[in-house]
Structure 1
Amino acid sequence: MRLLSAAAFLTLFAVAVAADASPLPSPRQVEVPSENGTLHAQLYKPDGDGPFPVVIALHGCGGLGGRSEPVQHRYRDWAEQLLKGGKAVLLPDSYGSRELGPQCRVKERRILARRERVADIMASRQWLVQQPWARQDRISLLGWADGASALLWAVRPQSASRKAEPDFRSAIAFYPDCRISSRLGWSARIPTLLLIGARDDISSPPACRQMIDGARGRSALARIVVYPGAWHDFDRANFPLHAIGGAADPALPERGHLGTDADARADSIKRVAEWLAR
């Protein structure tokens, strides 16, 4: 076979790089009907008619958007990774839809993981099954911190809804607060993966381990991965490890440590892709 000339090779390489670097579709706001009004959500959808697998992605207590952007970089990063894999991503805004800001330091929360946020998950699911571009049999859940806690409530057998058939395909929870669920005999009706850092001092790795271990034998597949040396927010890109300072930032927990763990982040990206492909 004749070899390409250097010039031809460089031309083909440049075209390939340009194609790979082509901008991804931007999110668009959609309105999701719910029992308590309208739920605003940001939708990332591949080009074309589909149908596409969909991930409902659930923000933490800091909220979905930033000061000048509808989706914080940490969630946009994950949404874009999933989008590259051919999945649509729906990010419901549980706080902004109710004209609320971050809830991390609110003592008496009006939006509870086990109540309002589960309702938002179910409303999102009901909206998606009506969209012709969405694969009804491949709608999964992905959540972080408070959003992951809501996910744990939503996948319990007691939360099943006849209106949401077929059920969610799978679920992935990043560092939820498992303390209540572990005491209530948690189990899941769909395959659920939990990812947490061993040094997380905001959530509780021991409670999460106890919760998953306690579900064996009476639950759908439930697995936990505890990353040695990793803290809260370990999957967040380019976020140096630091202790939460004394400033009363409503978008941050009151105390603890946050920061990227490169090895844990890389492994979690791989595991998320594999779990969603089940």
Structure 2
Amino acid sequence: MRHLALLILLLHAAPALAMRQSTVELPGPPGVTLRAELYLPDGPVTGPAVLGMHGCAGFRRPDGQVSALYREWARLLTGQGHAVLLPDSFGSRGQGEQCTRRERAILPGRERRADAIAAARWLVAQPFGGPGVVMMGWSHGGSTVLWTANNPEGAPILAYVAMYPGCGVPNRLASWNTAAPMLLLIGEADDWTPAWTCQQLAGRFPDRIAYHAYPGAYHGFDAPNAPIRVRTGLAYTAGNNGQAHLGTDPAAREDAMRRVAAFVAGVRP
């Protein structure tokens, strides 16, 4: 109970928690230099580094600043003593958002999996990296988590966190597996990446995947202060109509942050 109370305190105190942010470059897959944002605790690093993989819109706002979703997750995790790295898979290749593109230039199971493997290896080579990392991803990045977990090529990834990923294709593959424990969180009302495929996938690995779905929550439920809206023009949605709801569910957001914080804190080499 004391641990849970501390996590709740961290959540409510998040705006006051200090962290150090810098832009870094690191070697990616052959021919690619990955630009990334690195967040370090304003104090000692006391847990595994977290590798965060952004969604199909990227992790920056139009003004170039990091979006509130990723900034607040970095604030929470650095507040617990974790370094956080956010590689820019799209900007590093001169690409923009992939949400509206039917013919995507950058795929979760191809370029982005390679980015994650390269970034994980870079992280553990840093003084703050430790012996292994926790990989976390949202939406397109959550799908990247699934594909990396299936074939990490020996990358030093100790655990995975998938936030509302696309589970359809992995769920249809009898060969899909996860190389390390996984936490998978999604909204039951998600009409962009449907929850039922993730529930089925997690059900195949009850001892490896901790699954939780939030009733009434949509895609992006963990974004801070984002009113529910309908986004149109999307390339892939559950109903194949190019439309999906997204926005904050405050209760789901708070619960997800508690679950992720506890999961990451419990990861051991």
TM-score range, shorter chain: 0.7 to 0.9
Structure 2 residue runs without a partner (length 5+): 1-12
C-alpha change, 1:21 and 1:126, in structure 2 (3 Å) is: closer
1:16 aligns with none
| Range with bigger deviation, 66-75 or 79-88 | 66-75
1:214: Cα distance to partner? 2.2
- Unpaired runs of 5+ residues, structure 1, are 1-18
The root-mean-square deviation of aligned C-alpha atoms, in Å, is 2.2
Q: Is the counterpart of residue 205 in structure 1 residue 199 in structure 2?
A: no
Residues 112-123 of structure 1: matches in 2 within 5 Å?
112-123=107-118
Letter in 1 for 2:147: W
- Partner residue of 1:87? 82
1:32 is aligned to 26
Distance 1:49-1:276 versus aligned 2 partners, 3 A rule: closer
Query: Which of the residues 170, 173, 176 maps onto 2:165?
Result: 176
Whole-Å Cα distance in 2 between the matches of residues 113 and 102 of structure 1? Answer: 13
Mapped to 1, the partners of 2:53 and 2:123 lie a distance apart of: 15
Greater Rg, structure 1 or structure 2?
A: 1
Whether the aligned pair in 1 keeps the contact of 2:46 and 2:82 (CA below 8 Å) is no
C-alpha distance in structure 2 between counterparts of 1:97 and 1:21, whole Å: 29
Partner Cα separation in structure 2 for residue 20 and residue 67 of structure 1: 24
Q: 1:254 deviation in Å?
A: 3.3
2:222 matches 1:235: yes
Please list, as runs of the form range in 1=range in 2, the aligned pairs for 1:1-278 lying within 5 A after superposition. Answer: 24-34=18-28, 35-48=30-43, 50=45, 52-137=47-132, 139-156=133-150, 159-162=151-154, 164=155, 167-185=156-174, 186-216=176-206, 221-245=208-232, 254-278=242-266
Q: 2:182 & 2:16 partners in 1: Cα distance?
A: 33
**Aligned sequence identity (%):** 40
Helix, strand or coil at the partner of 1:212: helix
The TM-score normalised by the length of structure 1 is 0.83
Distance 1:89 1:160 in 2: 19
Query: In structure 2, how many angstroms separate the alpha carbons of the residues matched to 1:126 and 1:227?
Result: 33
In the superposition, relative to structure 1, how do residues 80 and 49 fare at CA in structure 2: closer, same or farther (>3 Å)?
Answer: closer
State the Cα deviation string for residues 130-153 of structure 1 (Å, max 9, x = none).
11122123x101110000000001
How far apart, in 1, do the equivalents of 2:230 and 2:152 lie?
A: 39
CA displacement at 1:249 relative to structure 2:
8.4
Inter-partner Cα distance in structure 2 for 1:150 and 1:271: 20
State how far apart, in whole Å, the 2-side matches of 1:277 and 1:21 are.
Answer: 20
| Count of matched residue pairs | 248
Deviation at 1:176, TM superposition (A): 0.4
CA distance in 2, matches of 1:174, 1:256: 16
Change (3 A) 1:275 1:23: closer
CA distance in structure 2 between the partners assigned to 1:150 and 1:40 by the alignment: 18
Amino acid at match of 1:31: E
Q: Secondary structure at the match of 1:69?
A: coil
* Cα deviation digits, residues 241-274 of structure 1 (max 9, x gap): 12225xx589x99311011111111110110011
| Alpha-carbon separation, structure 2, partners of 1:100 and 1:187 | 30
Q: Which residue identity does 1:254 align to in structure 2?
A: G
- Residue type of the partner of 1:267? D
* CA distance, structure 2, for counterparts of residue 210 and residue 174 of structure 1: 16
4+ residue stretches of structure 1 with deviation over 3 A? 19-23, 47-52
